[in-house]
Amino acid sequence: MLRNGLEPWHLLIVAIVVIVLFGSKKLPDTARAVGKSLRILKSETRAMQEDGERGKG
């Protein structure tokens, strides 16, 4: 049934639903917040890895 996974038209439908739910005015702010959260997560993960390497040595 889900042999092909996500096809391009599935992604189009998801994009339309997101635009309808959140509205086009809120999407840039939401994308900016998600990007900022991902940058924070990446920097925290990097810091934890560096702390772990220092602890071993």
One digit per residue, the tens of pLDDT, for the chain of length 57 reads: 456 677 888 888 988 888 888 787 888 888 899 999 999 999 999 999 988 888 765
User: Are 30 and 22 a contacting pair, CB within 8 Å?
Assistant: yes
* Residue 26: C-alpha distances to residues 15, 22, 31, 33, 43 (Å): 14, 6, 9, 11, 26
pLDDT at 4: 67
Q: Which residue has the tokens 């996500």?
A: 6
Q: What is the pTM of this model?
A: 0.55
Measured distance CA(5)–CA(32) in Å, rounded: 28
